[in-house]
Structure 1
Amino acid sequence: MKRLLIFFTWLWLLVPIIAESQQVRVLSEGLEFKGDLGSIQRKTVILQNETNQVKTYLLKNLRGNIGSSQRVRVCIGDQCYDPKKDLAKIKFTLEPGEVLTDLYLDFDMGIAETRGSFDLSFVNESNLRDLFVVEASYEVDDPIKVDEFDYKDLVLSDVYPNPSVRMAQFDYNFKNKAVKAKITINSFIGNPIADYELDPERSTLAINVSDFNPGIYFYTLFLDNKNIVTKKLVVKK
C-alpha cells in the first residue's frame, strides 16, 4: 500500500511537467539539410504557442554531431547567431496562439562529404521545465552529382518530410527572379487541392497538410505557367 501511495504521488508531481512540455509545438518536423560541398541551406523552424500566455524562450544548448568543416547558425528574422558562442543572444517571444515563421537554421555544408544529426533545446526563461527541442539532420554530397531539380530558372528540393503528418516543406532558390513559379497540389485522381506562389525573396515554402485527408497527392512545379515536373506527396495521420 505504501509503495502504491509513493507511485501515485510521483505521478501527480509529473503531471505539470508533462503538460508544460506540450505548451509549444514544433510544426516543422525533422529538418533535413542535403546539398553539395560549399553550399549553404536555410530551413524554417515553425513553432506554435498553444497556450493563452506570452512566452519567451532562450536557446539552452546545441547537442549532436556536426562535422569540423560544417557550421550551423540560428537566425531570427535577419539577425543570425552562432549557437556555440551566442546562447544568450538567441531569444524570442511568442504571443498567445502565435505561429512563429521567422526562426531559421542556416547550415554551411563545409568542405568534407559527411552526414550527421543534431538538436537545439529551447527553454522558457521563467520556467525551466517548459522546453522544446528542434531536431535536424544533414547530408553533404559530392558536387559532381547531378540534381534533377536544378532547372534553368530555379533550384527546387524534394518535398520533406515525405510522408508528412502536419507540415510539408520545399526549399528553393531563384536563379531568375523574373520568372513566376508556383507549386500546385492535386489529389490522386487529379482534383485540384491548392496552389502556392513561390516568393523570390524567401527560400522555403511551408504547407500545412494537417487538414488534408490521408492519402497520396501529386505536386507540380510550374514556371511561367509551364508544367516542369510532377512528384508524389504522401500524407499520413
Structure 2
Amino acid sequence: MKRYFLLFFLCMILLPLYTEAQVRVLSENIEFSGVIGSSQRKSLIIQNESNQVKDYSLKYLRGNIGSSQNVKICIGDKCYDPKRDISKIKISLKPGEIFTDLYLEFELGITETKGNFDLHFFNSTNVRDVFVIESVYEVFNPRADDTNHKDISIGSAYPNPTNRQAQIDYVVKNPNAVVKISINSFIGNPVAEYQLDPLQKNLVINVSDFNPGVYFYTLFVDNKNIVTKKLVVKK
C-alpha cells in the first residue's frame, strides 16, 4: 500500500513537468518575402488555452540569420532585439486570452538568400510549458525588367514560379491615376483584377487556388495597357 501511495505522490510531483504547452499559435506560418534592402512587419496571434495566468519569456532564437539581417520582437509599441534584449522579452497571458499585440519585424538584408528561424518561449515555472514561433524568409534581387512609368514604378512578380503567393512591389507617383493589375490565363480568360492602393507599397496575389500553368498579368494606368508579363503557377 505504501508503495502505491509513494508512486501516486511522485506522479503528482512530476506531472507538471510533462504537461504540454497550453499556449497555441493561431497565426499562420510566418513568411517574409521581399527584395534586397526591404523590411517587413508581421502580426502574431497566440492564445492561452488554460484557465490560469501564464507568463512566458523568450528563451532563445535559433536559425540561420545573416549578418546584414535583423529581427525585432515587438510587444505593443515596444520593440526588442532578441540578441541583446532577451531578458526583457516577456509576455503575460490571462486565462483564455487571445493575444494580438505581438509582432515580428525583419530586415531582409543585402544578399539574395533564403532561410528560417524559430523563437522559443518558455514558462519559468514549468520548463516543459513552451511554445515556438516558426518563420521562413526569402530575399530576392530587384528585377532588371522593372517598369518605370510617369505615374508608377513597379517591379516584377516574385517568386516566379510560385505555388502559394506572388508579390509585386510598387510606388504610385500620381495618386490621382487609376492603376490596376489584370491577370489572364494563357488563352486569355480573365482570372483576377486588382486596383493598386497608392498608400500601399506592394500587392500580394494568392495563387493557391489557380490551376498550375502560365498566366499573364498586365499593368493598366487610366485604362491604358502599359506592360504585360508572365507569371508561372506550379503545383
Range class of TM-score, shorter chain? 0.5 to 0.7
Within a 5 Å distance, the mapping from 1:98-117 to structure 2 comes to 105=105, 107=107, 114-117=111-114
**CA pair 139-166 structure 1, distance change in 2 beyond 3 A:** closer
Q: Which amino acid aligns with 2:155?
A: S
Q: How many residues align?
A: 199
Match of 1:5 in 2: none
SS at match of 1:25: coil
Within a 5 Å distance, the mapping from 1:154-193 to structure 2 comes to 154-193=152-191
Please, which of 202, 215, 229 is the counterpart of residue 231 of structure 1?
229
Mapped to 1, the partners of 2:174 and 2:77 lie a distance apart of 22
Match of 1:121 in 2: 118
Unaligned runs of 5+ in 1: 1-15
Mapped to 1, the partners of 2:65 and 2:83 lie a distance apart of 13
8 Å contact kept, 1:186–1:217? yes
Please, which of 199, 202, 216 is the counterpart of residue 218 of structure 1?
216
Q: State the structure with more CA Rg.
A: 2
Within a 5 Å distance, the mapping from 1:1-237 to structure 2 comes to 24-26=27-29, 28=31, 31-35=32-36, 40-43=37-40, 45=42, 60-61=60-61, 63-67=63-67, 70-72=68-70, 74=72, 82-86=81-85, 88=88, 105=105, 107=107, 114-123=111-120, 130-138=131-139, 148-237=146-235
Mapped to 2, the partners of 1:71 and 1:197 lie a distance apart of 32
Superposed displacement of residue 21, structure 1:
9.9
Mapped to 2, the partners of 1:171 and 1:57 lie a distance apart of 37
What are the superposed Cα offsets for residues 184-215 of structure 1, whole Å, 9 maximum, x if unpaired? Answer: 11111111111111112222222222221222
8 Å contact kept, 1:164–1:235? yes
Unaligned runs of 5+ in 2: 1-18
**CA pair 216-116 structure 1, distance change in 2 beyond 3 A:** closer
Q: How high is the TM-score relative to the length of structure 1?
A: 0.59
8 Å contact kept, 2:146–2:153? no
What are the superposed Cα offsets for residues 37-61 of structure 1, whole Å, 9 maximum, x if unpaired? Answer: xxx4244658798x9969x998752
8 Å contact kept, 1:81–1:90? no
Q: How high is the TM-score relative to the length of structure 2?
A: 0.60
Q: Aligned Cα RMSD in Å?
A: 4.5
**CA pair 115-170 structure 1, distance change in 2 beyond 3 A:** closer
8 Å contact kept, 2:177–2:222? yes
8 Å contact kept, 1:57–1:123? no
